[in-house]
A = this chain, B = another copy of it.
């Protein structure tokens, strides 16, 4: 089974550039995570953006949508910042025949303690099994993109009312 990964930035890829004493979105970590987990599934990776999701504008979401629609693969995993992940997910509604799963992390993958590795594993699993549609996969749960929100105070995703 083929899975196509689109990377867009977010906390999961944040890195510390000491030369500037700043913390920024760095190169995508997902290839390294898949290698460390000895993944033998057929995965292709396409970097699309490298943005903090708070900085994403409508054109960014349209670009992501175009790349998803253009992919010849029907299992799509998107790594994304958590702050506007739900918003991007809703922009992806209505693409027929594709299972689209978004994930990300609250703590950078480069940290010693992080939710990134687990989340990528979780998302790579459910994208292979779920029927076509758009989903968020985080906090060990699968959320329908149409009914999910980030609760910033509690630092987790919840079903929206």
Interface of A with B (CB < 8 Å)? Answer: 1, 11, 14, 16, 18-19, 21-23, 33-34, 36-41, 43, 52, 54, 81-83, 106-108, 110-115, 117-126, 128-130, 137, 139-142, 152-153, 155-157
A154 to chain B, nearest CB (A): 9
Is there an interface contact between A122 and B125, defined as CB atoms closer than 8 Å? yes
- Distance A39 CA – B141 CA, assembled complex (angstroms): 7
A40 to chain B, nearest CB (A): 5
Is there an interface contact between A18 and B106, defined as CB atoms closer than 8 Å? yes
Contact of A122 among B83, B107, B122, B141 (CB under 8 A): B122
Is there an interface contact between B52 and A21, defined as CB atoms closer than 8 Å? yes
Closest B residue to A158 by CB, please name it.
B40
Is there an interface contact between A111 and B11, defined as CB atoms closer than 8 Å? no
Closest B residue to A52 by CB, please name it.
B21
